[in-house]
Amino acid sequence: MLAGPSRLEYDHQRVQSRAPGSSLVASRTKRLALMQGFRLQRIAAVAEMRPSLPVAGSLLVCGLMAWLPVARAARVSADEPSRPVRLIFDTDMDTDCDDAGAMAVLHALADAGRVEILATMVSSHYPYSAPCVERINRFFRRPDLPIGVPKGKGAPIDRGSRYARAIAETFPGTLKTNADAPDAAKLYRKILASRGDGETVIVTVGYLTNLRDLLASGPDEHSPLGGRELVRRKVKHYVCMGGRYPEHLDPGVFGNLKPDPESAVAVVRDWPTTIYFCGLGDDVMTGEPLRAEADDNPVRRIYELYLGNRPTRPSWDQIATLFAVFGSEPYWQLRREGYNHIFPNGTNQWRAEPNDPRHVLIEWKPGGRDRCRAAIDRLMTHRPGRDVRLGPIE
């Protein structure tokens, strides 16, 4: 049984990292900066970008900040195209259409050689979520991608969907309901055990049910390690689309951490590698170019069924997916101070102290929002067999 908020404070004594001699005044200043606009300025961004800089000590801060992204971008573009990210994508695929938009982005990036999709997991108990995911995979010519679903406790089944059943019954595929798909936790274990150490990235754009089950899993035929140790060894990092920042305290507003709050609390508390939290997307409206796509595109149909006559929808899941593949360089900067506190009802608050080095918050770089919006619309309209229009991401 979950205790009240005071008992849910994480055991940060194990991970707390405070600079010697830090003062009470500095602590209060950090808290004030956090809650009054949540805008620690670019000095923090410079601190978190830690390349070796061949610059003179007299270089002005403004010059340093202009030079850093250019130098780092050159290194990323030189190295990463030859090393696709190995990624497991975990979606609810029920309550909103941005999950489908994120899958379109993911498949486009796979066609561009930037990512190897290891599996497309489903965290919802809605019976047509897994078949809907399979139909999208099939459209993008990856019909055999593994799909796992939760087999135990999780988010309630009655959340419903405006589109999942229609897609499952209209487009071709083999899964009829979630019951036809294997247990997600077991599938996670099988895939992770087969991969190299520190190789796999996980991104969730739905509930955290499957990851809770993975952490709680025991040794099996795939690995002698328990779930937490298997994750520690095999997972490079985890990207979580969930919560709003600096805080999201209204339990009546939907969010990915709320339908299964016990799992959210457990995963954020116990996950052994870095978690990148993403709450961006409210003001990144995309999807209108999909209206010109052909009727055989299930992503176009999902947006049509969900939106009706509205042309666009926020891009929460697409943003997290892009970050999982490209990291912070194209559009984002990172906040490494503080931690993400999850309350028993699934609401959240980014707290300045104590510091948890596992918790990292994704924020916009100046100008990143508009460039990201354009990239999402380009990638969501990708069709299999055509060249991928990565555009300025490269």
- Give CA–CA dist 161/98, Å, rounded: 13
CATH class name, domain 85-385: alpha beta
What does the buried/exposed string (b/e) look like for 361-379 if buried means 16 or more CB atoms within 10 Å of the residue's CB? bbbbbeebbeebbebbbbb
Structure tokens at 92: 């609810």
pLDDT band for 391, please (50, 70, 90 cuts).
confident
User: What digits encode the pLDDT tens for the residues 49-71?
Assistant: 333 333 334 333 334 333 333 33
| Confidence at residue 159, expressed as pLDDT on a 0 to 100 scale | 77
User: What digits encode the pLDDT tens for the residues 121-161?
Assistant: 999 999 999 999 999 999 999 999 999 999 998 887 767 89
Structure tokens at 291: 């209206």
- pTM of the complete model: 0.82
User: What digits encode the pLDDT tens for the residues 76-134?
Assistant: 333 345 689 999 999 999 999 999 999 999 999 999 999 999 999 999 999 999 999 99
Domain ranges of the chain: 85-385
What does the buried/exposed string (b/e) look like for 36-59 if buried means 16 or more CB atoms within 10 Å of the residue's CB? eeeebebebbeeebeeeeeeeeee
Give the C-alpha distances (Å, rounded to integers) separating 330 from 116, 242, 369.
20, 21, 10
- Report the share of the chain in percent with pLDDT over 90: 74
Polymer length of the chain: 394
